[in-house]
Amino acid sequence: MSSVPAFKRLPRAVREQQMLDAAVKVFSRRGFHAASMDEIAEDAGISKPMVYAYLGTKEELFVACLHREGTRMMQAIAGAAAPDLPADERLWRGLRAFFGFVGAYRDGWAVLYRQARGEQPFAGELATMRARLVEVVAGMLDHALRAEGREIAAIDLEVVAYALVGATESLADWLADHPDADPEKTATRMMNVAWLGAAQLLHGVTWRPPVD
């Protein structure tokens, strides 16, 4: 019987990626709780027990999503910002990579990130990632300061870095909600806010991306 097997059998690795794709999509659309495992399974073109067999419980599945997307993002950023460049150059490249990532994986990022903030079990996971980002930014600021022979309290540095990261995330949300917006341009705007500051901007000074 069954001369034509309705649909193909695929190796585990492939199916897992399909499931993760579906999960990201559904979690992003519905939110963690409102998303049902049935819908995810259906969207992945597979039945529910397979999801449990491969990726475990709903929570574990969500964590797996967070991990994949988080790793992708970190790699995108890390790959762009070489540590031996001057601080402004590093900041610029990091921002550009970041917004590029968000633009490319709108679903993936915006929603997973937005989701994870609220739900207790995952807030920690997220906080770790953000903490790494804050540390990187704080390190850059500190480096730039020392280069000028200055120094400020570590806590102030951290808070400033926190604010910058927050502003960036906020613009990422904006970008995710405006599909027509250009990631590159958004990065430039963020660079203006971050590096020159509102006051400078008000005086008409404008930072421009280097033409390379």
Q: Which residues bind DNA (CB under 7 A)?
A: 1-2, 5, 7-12, 15, 34-38, 46-50, 52-53, 57-59
Q: Which residue has the tokens 């929570």?
A: 59
195 binds its own copies (CB under 8 A): yes
Closer of 18 and 200 to its own copies (Cβ): 200
To the nearest 10°, report the CA torsion of 180, 189, 138, 63: -10
Q: How far is the CB of 8 from DNA (least distance, A)?
A: 6
Asked whether position 37 contacts its own copies by CB under 8 A, the answer is no
Assess 85 for contact with its own copies (CB under 8 A).
no
Which of DNA, its own copies, none interacts with 57 (beta carbon under 5 to 8 A by kind)? Answer: DNA
Tally of helices (H runs) and strands (E runs) in the chain: 11, 0
Could you tell me which of 17, 35, 34 has the C-alpha nearest to residue 26? 35
User: Judged by CB under 8 A, which stretch of 61-69, 72-80, 94-102, 139-147 contacts its own copies?
Assistant: 139-147
Q: Is the dihedral of CA 35, 127, 63, 111 positive or negative?
A: positive
Query: How would you class 160 by CB atoms within 10 Å of its CB: exposed for 0-12, middle for 13-18, buried for 19 or more?
Result: middle
Residue 198 contacts its own copies per CB under 8 A: yes
CB of 68 to DNA, least distance (A): 18
Nearer to its own copies, 46 or 141 (CB): 141
Q: Which of 141, 176, 183, 187 binds its own copies (CB under 8 A)?
A: 141
The helix (H) or strand (E) run that includes residue 13 is helix 12-30
Contacts 24+ apart (CB under 8 A), 15-20: 15/44, 15/46, 15/50, 15/54, 16/54, 16/55, 18/44, 18/45, 18/46, 19/44, 19/46, 19/50, 19/51, 19/54, 19/55, 19/61, 20/55, 20/64, 20/65, 20/68
Shortest Å distance, C-beta 105 to its own copies: 18
117 binds its own copies (CB under 8 A): yes
Out of 21, 100, 174, 184, the only residue in the binding site for its own copies (CB under 8 A) is 174
* Binding stretches for its own copies (CB under 8 A): 30-34, 114-115, 117-120, 141, 144-145, 148, 150, 152, 156, 159-160, 162-171, 173-174, 186, 189-190, 192-204
